[in-house]
Amino acid sequence: MILKILKRVNRYLPEDFRLRLLPYYRRILPGLNNVIFIPQLKCNYNCAYCIWNRFTPDGFKDSFHHFTDWVRIFQTFPPSAVIITGGEPLLYRDIVPLIENFPDKHVISCLVTNLSVNIDKLISLKKKEFRIMASFHPYTATKEAFMQGLISLKAAGFKNITVNFVAYPEYLKDIPVLKKFFEQEKGLYFRTDTFKDPDYKYSGQELELIREYKKKGFIAPDRTEGYSFEDFSAKACRAGKNLFIIIANGNVYSCMEGYYYSECKPYKDKYNKIDKFYLGNVFDGSFNASEKNRVCHSPCAELCDLELAGVRRISVSS
């Protein structure tokens, strides 16, 4: 019943309303499983802020498994809400049969794409019950050309499309203009997430501008103003029990931040080594989900982790 409701929510609920609910996500759905699934780690872009391209080990980018392998693996998972992302998932050559044959016990809640390649694959889908999170990169495409892709998806039957934009410092001043442009098209929402980088912090002037944007509604109130990689306080969350990150080679991690800490420089130098995030591999039989909520002592700076895992600080004595 819950997954049927989520399917309707994902198809029709506008992103601005969904964002308002996210801080309460784990209170509303405490036991729901969430999977962030990355069937393809390669990307046709090389964005300056992209963690995948900058830090993902090269060997991981060549990994590929046939869609029938993934369908078999997901048959073994309990009912889950699944986000398909990348890299660029439309580079995964089996993306159409994967989605069409995905086990019905799960809900594909969202697909994240830059729309720059193989958009015809999305248009050809019979199943169009998930949200599209379309990532706009102004240094690789004009907003007018990007809009044409969005219009094509709407015409093909996708009901819930959001334009996602990262507030990279170079483009902070463009946010009001971009938001106005994209939201003129009925049914679209321009969502801005702040720039995340373990070696960069927004300047005081940049933070002031972000706070001004929040007051004016250009950035949602719950989007963070910055990320602290010095926050080693104890935190309780459901990562590894109700949240999993599965990447193209079958490795499973408790959370997105945990993937970075486990595999990517310079993240490996940023976390408390008592924390273990790797949960095994779904193809070699070593994957084991956590039996209880974890207590993590590493900085948590990934929005999907904070929201989907229900991260909360706890006292040292807890």
C-alpha span between 203 and 207 (Å, rounded):
6
Tokens of 237: 């969350």
Is there a domain that residue 269 lies in? Answer: yes
Identify the pLDDT of residue 318: 39
Q: Provide mean pLDDT across the span 81-89.
A: 94
Work out how many domains the chain is built from and give that number.
1
Is there a domain that residue 165 lies in? Answer: yes
Tokens of 156: 């093909």
Bridge-based pairing of strands 131-135 and 161-167 is parallel
Measured on CA atoms in the order 191, 309, 269, 263, is the torsion positive or negative?
A: negative
Is there a domain that residue 191 lies in? Answer: yes
Count of residues making up the chain: 318
How do residues 140-185 score in pLDDT, each as one tens digit?
889 999 999 999 999 999 989 999 999 989 999 999 999 999 998 7
Is there a domain that residue 151 lies in? Answer: yes
How do residues 23-64 score in pLDDT, each as one tens digit?
778 888 888 999 999 999 989 888 777 777 778 888 888 899
Is there a domain that residue 318 lies in? Answer: no
User: In the chain, which residue ranges form alpha helices assigned H by DSSP?
Assistant: 2-12, 15-21, 25-28, 51-55, 58-61, 67-75, 95-100, 119-124, 143-156, 175-183, 204-216, 256-263, 303-308
CATH of the domain at 171: 3.20.20
Is there a domain that residue 104 lies in? Answer: yes
> What proportion of the chain, given as a percentage, has pLDDT over 90?
63
Identify the pLDDT of residue 317: 45
Domain that holds residue 92: 2-313
Element (H, E) at 279: strand 278-281
Identify the pLDDT of residue 11: 75
Identify the pLDDT of residue 196: 81
How do residues 230-270 score in pLDDT, each as one tens digit?
889 999 999 999 999 999 999 999 999 999 999 998 889 88
Is there a domain that residue 199 lies in? Answer: yes
